[in-house]
């Protein structure tokens, strides 16, 4: 008999970060921990450390050879250079000679080094602490005799947290993700929604064991370990339905319309070129939101005008003549960027973020506007400004755009003024929408909801408040009315647009343009097609 | 043995950060000479072949980097290092 209390259908609650169902074995990713084994002699322990250092170096060289990303390559070269520097491990070898075990000696040698990076004033240096921690853990895993933990496909991964780089390197077909940390607005969550990977956060992962059969319900925000056969069968059915819907969505092309034949525009939200690789532009009405934050994050230095131009141009080329709506840098709030945003903002969501930051860092904004003006020559580019609160912010942005274009033309570059629109996410802007000189409006429902309801979407206790209410729908209706009366487009690009259960309410407000994560295209298209028209 | 000195203004936008430091220490290691680096003409001096120590200087943009080298190829080493820093750590020809 199994003497552990192994309840059938043990349910662990979390918060939904990306919808969908996954069934499969659990794999728990464990952070490396020093094991205190006293079995080795000092000489044996020194040898073990030397072997672990050499093996780690080989791992890193192997990784560097497979990776094409320039920034990732820079991090790996730095880690390799650290291993090549005997100054790094010298204190560890000395401690071992004095009787310390290898793993503890290694940690004692590298942790003070990590601390000096953690305490650096310069955010670039501070960010390197992560690279040293990563290196510390790699060597510890080697000391413990573990090989590199690769994430297999088709499993439900449970971990404390997952860096975006690991997420991107994993084959998620049939799999799902369970994290203790992170939030529905974290970058991994955005990536998961965009790729259709079910994901939940805020989960107590302590008692989860690798190998257990599990169901991840990304819709309800729960994980069920060892489901009973009936429950498992239910979920298998739902999973089959989900694949059918997704299949239907991906085989569908042509215009989207409601049951009574009204055309609706359906676009996608993206973070970079990678998501467009498997996507057929004929199946969508364009890109309704390109988040440029990802171009700025996790890098050693800010992207150049040329880096940005290349990406914007390729997006415009991908879309053919369809619109590509690029949002200027929306840093700050929950999206800090090393070297740009200020740490220690007391209330980051009400602080210097979005256009507020861009107007205070004109040299960074200028490069982005130049890259956009150059790419606007190639395709149907639209540019939107995030966090606009008063009309002057939009006017100032338009003025800076004009300067950037004059400057480019003076240098002999081709440049064009794209349509310039605004994100409507601050209640002040939504209420006085008629004061803004915008070519189009894009409603950012995530922030609009939390600002209207005064409830953080990352506070689980307030989940009931941080939802679209009548107040939110009234504001959306107000914006859409204004846009329709003036012949301008209003679309909605927040998570609200990707929720099939909210589609009818949004259509009721007159909204006829949606921009959703690629994974939500099928369900939203189906919900639009079911819509019979506004009830009298 | 000859001991030589040189200095150069560093204009790299993020200072002596990971990527520049990797390039600098790699280049320094290509020479036999003992090579030291400092942020003032009188030191303190650190081993220019050690990335741990080079990164620990936290040298910001617009610092002047001082080198001193001692050994058979000291002159060549200093020329190469000055050229690397002066060329903003770009990949040389």
What is the per-residue pLDDT across A96-148, written as a single tens digit (0 to 9) for each?
A: 999 888 889 999 999 999 999 888 877 777 778 878 888 998 898 888 765 55
Which of A188, A217, A242 is the C-terminal boundary of a domain?
A242
Of these ranges, A185-199, A230-244, B79-93, the one predicted with the greatest mean pLDDT is A230-244
Same domain flag for A287 and A355? yes
| Residues on chain A touching B50 (C-beta within 8 angstroms) | 85, 87
A185-203 pLDDT, tens digit each: 666 787 788 778 999 999 9
Q: What angle separates helix A102-118 from helix A42-66, to the nearest 10 degrees?
A: 50
Alpha-carbon distance A158 to A208, whole Å? 8
The H-or-E segment that residue A199 falls in is strand A199-201
> Contacts of residue A88 in chain B, CB cutoff 8 Å?
52
Q: Is the pLDDT of residue A2 over 50?
A: no
> What's the gap in Å between the CA of A350 and the closest CA on chain B?
29
Q: Judge whether A296 and A329 are in contact, CB under 8 Å.
A: yes
Domain ranges, residue A22: 10-29+150-242
| Tokens, residue A505 | 């309410």
Same domain, A208 and A273: no
> CA neighbours within 13 Å on the CB side: how many for A485?
8
CA torsion, ordered A282, A283, A284, A287, to nearest 10 deg: -70
Q: What is the CA radius of gyration of chain A?
A: 25
CA distances from A215 to A18, A26, A161 (A): 14, 9, 19
B91 within domain boundaries: no
Q: What is the 3-state secondary structure (H, E, C) of A398-427?
A: HHHHHHHHHHHHHCCCCCCCCEEEEEECCH
Residue position matching structure tokens 């999973």: A239
**CATH, residue A392:** 3.20.20.60
The mean per-residue pLDDT over the stretch A379-385 comes to 96
Tens of pLDDT along A441-453? Answer: 999 999 999 999 9
Using the Cβ of A69 and the Cβ atoms of chain B, whether some distance falls under 8 Å is answered with: no
pLDDT over 90 at A402, yes or no: yes
Using only C-alpha atoms, what is the Rg of chain B? Answer: 12
Pairing of strands A222-225, A213-217: antiparallel
Per-residue confidence (pLDDT) for residue A149, from 0 to 100:
56
Pairing outcome for strands A10-13 and A381-385: unpaired
pLDDT tens-digit series, residues A364-379? 999 999 999 999 999 8
Mean pLDDT along residues A314-339? 87
Check whether residue A130 and residue A180 sit in a common domain.
no
Last residue of a domain, one of A242, A265, A280: A242
- Active-site residue among B4, B7, B15, B17? B17
Are A197 and A309 found together in one domain? no
Do residue A259 and residue A394 come from a single domain?
A: yes
DSSP H/E element including A452: helix A445-453
Q: Report pLDDT for B37.
A: 94
Residues 6+ away with beta carbon under 8 Å from A480: A490, A509, A510, A511
Render A291-357 in DSSP notation, one character per residue: ETHHHHTT-SSPPPHHHHHHHHHHHHHHHTTS-EEEEPP--BTTB--TTTSPTT-SSGGGSS-THHH
- Whether residue B69 lies inside any domain: the answer is yes
Q: Higher model confidence: residue A187 or residue B32? A: B32
- Give residue-wise pLDDT tens across range A455-471: 987 777 787 888 889 99
How confident is the model at residue A328, as a pLDDT? Answer: 97
Among A36-45, A261-270, A333-342, top mean pLDDT goes to: A261-270
Give a yes or no: residue A2 inside a domain. Answer: no
pLDDT for A252:
58
- Name the residue with higher pLDDT: A536 or A301: A301
Q: How many domains does chain A have?
A: 3
More confident position, A243 or A71: A243
What pLDDT is attached to residue A4?
A: 42
- Percent of chain A residues topping a pLDDT of 70: 88
Q: pLDDT value at position A150?
A: 60
Least-confidence region, from A177-181, A277-281, B19-23: A277-281
CA distances for A450 relative to A16, A74, A175, A231, angstroms: 17, 38, 31, 35
Number of structural domains chain B divides into:
1
Q: What is the C-alpha separation between A84 and A235, in angstroms, rounded?
A: 51
Q: What span, in angstroms and rounded, lies between the C-alpha atoms of A58 and A66?
A: 13
- Does the pLDDT at position A170 exceed 80? no
In a domain, A476, yes or no: no
Burial A206-236 (b: 16+ CB within 10 A, else e): eebeeebebbbbbeebbbbbbbeeeebeebe
Asked if residue A451 is part of any domain, the answer here is no
Does A277 lie in the same domain as A199? no
pLDDT given for residue A3 in this prediction? 39
Active site positions of A, annotated: 187, 493
Q: What is the pLDDT of residue A5?
A: 43
Residue B93 belongs to some domain of the structure: no
Q: B-contacting residues of A 126-155, CB under 8 Å?
A: 128, 131
DSSP string, B21-77: HHHHHHHHHTSSSEEEEESSTT---EETT-HHHHHHT-PPTTPEEEEEEESTTHHHH
Contacting residues for A307 by C-beta, under 8 A, at least 6 apart? A295
pLDDT score, position A6: 46
Q: Looking at the complex, does the CB of residue A339 fall below 8 Å from at least one CB of chain B?
A: yes
A104 in any annotated domain = yes
Dihedrals phi, psi of A95, to nearest 5 degrees: -65, -40
Angular region, A221: left φ>0, alpha ψ -120 to 50, beta rest: left
Can you tell me the mean pLDDT for A388-417? 96
**pLDDT > 50? residue B93:** no
Chain A residue closest in CA terms to B18: A78
**Is the CB of residue A255 less than 8 Å from the CB of residue A514?**
no
Can you read off the two tokens belonging to residue A38? 């006293």
CA distances from residue A232 to A196, A225, A442, B35 in whole angstroms, order as listed: 21, 10, 41, 67
DSSP state of A498: G
- At residue B92, the pLDDT reads 43
Residue A293 lies in a domain: yes
> Among A48-52, B36-40, B58-62, which is the least confidently predicted range?
B58-62
- Is A438 a member of any domain? no
Is residue A319 located within the same domain as residue A415? yes
Question: For A443, phi and psi rounded to 5 degrees?
Answer: -85, 120
> Between residues A61 and A7, which one has the greater pLDDT?
A61
Average pLDDT over residues A286-304: 83
Q: Mean pLDDT, to the nearest integer, of A500-507?
A: 93
CB A7 within 8 A of CB A137: no
- The pLDDT of residue A164 is 65
CA angle (A272, A198, A274) in 5-degree steps: 15
Q: Kindly state the average pLDDT of the residues B43-54.
A: 92
pLDDT (average), residues A426-451: 96
User: Is residue B50 domain-resident?
Assistant: yes
Q: Which residue has the higher pLDDT, B18 or A358?
A: A358
- Does residue A22 have a pLDDT over 90? yes
What is the separation, in whole angstroms, between the first and last Cα of chain B? 30
Q: What percent of chain A has pLDDT over 90?
A: 48
A425 token code pair: 């996410």
Considering the domain architecture, whether residues A289 and A236 belong to the same structural domain is answered as: no
Rounded Cα–Cα distance for residues A357 and A118 (Å): 25
Clarify whether residues A63 and A124 are in a common domain.
yes
- Shortest alpha-carbon distance between residue B18 and chain A (Å): 6
pLDDT, tens digit, 9 for 90 and up, residues A45-57:
888 888 888 888 8
What is the reported pLDDT for A112?
A: 92
Which residue of chain A is at minimal alpha-carbon distance from B26?
A81
What's the length of chain B? 93
B92: in domain: no
Angle, CA A362 vertex, CA A357 and CA A368 arms, to 5°: 90
| CATH value at residue B42 | 3.30.1340.10
Cα distances (Å, whole numbers) of residue A459 to A375, A494, B82: 39, 18, 53
Q: Judge if ipTM > 0.90.
A: no
Asked if residue A366 is part of any domain, the answer here is yes
Asked if residue A422 lies in contact with residue A394, where contact means CB atoms within 8 angstroms, the answer is yes
Last residue of a domain, one of A143, A162, A194: A143
Q: Which chain A residues are Cβ-neighbours of B14 within 8 angstroms?
A: 124, 300-301, 339
Which of A40-49, A72-81, A209-218, A320-329 is the most confident on average?
Answer: A320-329
d(Cα A98, Cα A90) in Å, to the nearest integer? Answer: 13
User: What is the dihedral sign for C-alpha A72, A76, A78, A79?
Assistant: positive
For residue A44, what pLDDT is reported?
82
Strands A513-516 and A263-270: parallel
Residues A130 and A191 in one domain: no
Residues A139 and A72 in one domain: yes
**Residue A518 domain-assigned (yes or no):** yes
pLDDT at B2 over 80: no
Contact A117, A135 (CB under 8 A): no
Q: Which domain holds residue B78?
A: 3-86
Amino acid B58: pLDDT: 85
Mean pLDDT of B27-55: 91
Most confidently modeled range among A85-99, A192-206, A395-409: A395-409
Asked if residue A200 and residue A56 are part of one domain, the reply reads no
Q: Lowest-confidence range among A11-20, A329-338, A504-513? A: A329-338
Substitution target in A77, A85, A303 with the highest count of B β-carbons within 10 Å is: A85
Any CB–CB contact under 8 A between A85 and chain B? yes
């Amino acid at each position: 008999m199994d003497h552990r209390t192994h309840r059938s259908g043990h349910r662990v609650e979390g918060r939904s970060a990306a919808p969908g169902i996954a069934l499969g074995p659990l794999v728990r990713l464990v952070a490396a921990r020093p094991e205190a084994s006293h079995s080795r002699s000092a000489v044996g322990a020194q040898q073990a450390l030397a072997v672990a250092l050499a093996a780690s170096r080989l791992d890193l060289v192997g990784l560097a050879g497979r990776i094409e990303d320039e920034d990732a390559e820079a991090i790996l070269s730095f880690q390799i250079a650290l291993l090549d520097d005997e100054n790094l491990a010298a204190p560890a070898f000395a401690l071992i000679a004095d009787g310390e075990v290898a793993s503890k000696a290694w940690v004692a040698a590298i942790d003070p080094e990590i601390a000096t990076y953690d305490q650096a004033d310069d955010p670039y240096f501070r960010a390197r602490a992560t690279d040293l921690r990563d290196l510390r853990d790699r060597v510890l895993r080697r000391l413990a005799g573990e090989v590199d933990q690769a994430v297999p496909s088709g499993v439900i991964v449970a971990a404390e947290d997952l860096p975006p780089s690991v997420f991107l390197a994993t084959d998620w077909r049939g799999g799902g993700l369970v994290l203790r940390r992170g939030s529905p607005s974290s970058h991994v969550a955005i990536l998961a929604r965009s790729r259709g990977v079910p994901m939940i956060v805020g989960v107590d992962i302590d008692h989860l064991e690798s190998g257990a059969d599990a169901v991840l319900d990304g819709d309800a925000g729960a994980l069920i370990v060892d489901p009973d056969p009936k429950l498992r069968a239910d979920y298998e059915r739902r999973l089959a339905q989900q694949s059918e819907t997704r299949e239907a969505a991906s085989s569908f092309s042509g215009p989207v319309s409601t049951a009574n034949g009204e055309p609706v525009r359906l676009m996608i939200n993206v973070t970079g070129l990678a998501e467009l690789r498997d996507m057929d532009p004929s199946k969508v009405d364009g890109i309704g939101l390109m988040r440029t934050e990802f171009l700025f994050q996790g890098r050693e230095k800010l992207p150049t005008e040329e880096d940005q131009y290349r990406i914007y141009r390729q997006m415009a080329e991908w879309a053919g003549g369809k619109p590509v709506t690029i949002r200027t840098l929306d840093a700050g709030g929950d999206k800090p960027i090393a070297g740009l945003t200020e740490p220690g903002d007391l209330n980051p969501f009400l602080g210097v973020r979005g256009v507020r930051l861009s107007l205070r860092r004109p040299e960074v904004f200028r490069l982005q506007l130049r890259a956009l003006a150059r790419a606007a020559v190639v395709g149907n580019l639209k540019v939107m400004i995030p966090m606009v609160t008063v009309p002057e912010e939009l006017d100032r942005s338009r003025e800076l755009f004009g300067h950037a274009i004059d400057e480019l033309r003076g240098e002999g570059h081709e440049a064009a003024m794209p349509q310039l629109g605004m994100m409507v996410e601050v209640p002040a802007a939504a209420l006085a929408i008629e004061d803004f000189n915008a070519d189009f409006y894009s409603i950012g429902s995530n922030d609009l909801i939390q600002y209207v309801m005064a409830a953080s979407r990352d506070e689980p206790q307030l989940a009931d408040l941080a939802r679209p209410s009548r107040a939110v729908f009234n504001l959306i209706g107000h914006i859409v009315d204004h846009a329709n009366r003036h012949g301008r487009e209003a679309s909605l690009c927040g998570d609200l647009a990707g929720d099939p259960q909210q589609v009818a309410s949004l259509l009721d407000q007159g909204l006829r343009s949606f921009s959703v994560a690629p994974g939500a295209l099928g369900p939203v298209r189906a919900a639009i097609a079911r819509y019979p028209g506004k009830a009298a | 043995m000859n001991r030589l000195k040189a200095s150069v203004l560093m204009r790299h936008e993020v200072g002596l950060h990971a990527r520049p430091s990797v390039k600098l220490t790699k280049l320094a290691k290509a020479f036999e000479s003992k090579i030291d680096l400092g942020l003032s003409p009188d030191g303190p001096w650190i081993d220019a072949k050690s990335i741990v120590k080079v990164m620990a200087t936290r040298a910001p943009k617009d610092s002047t980097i001082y080198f001193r080298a001692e050994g058979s190829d000291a002159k060549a080493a200093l020329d190469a290092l000055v050229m690397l820093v002066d060329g903003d750590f770009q990949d040389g020809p």
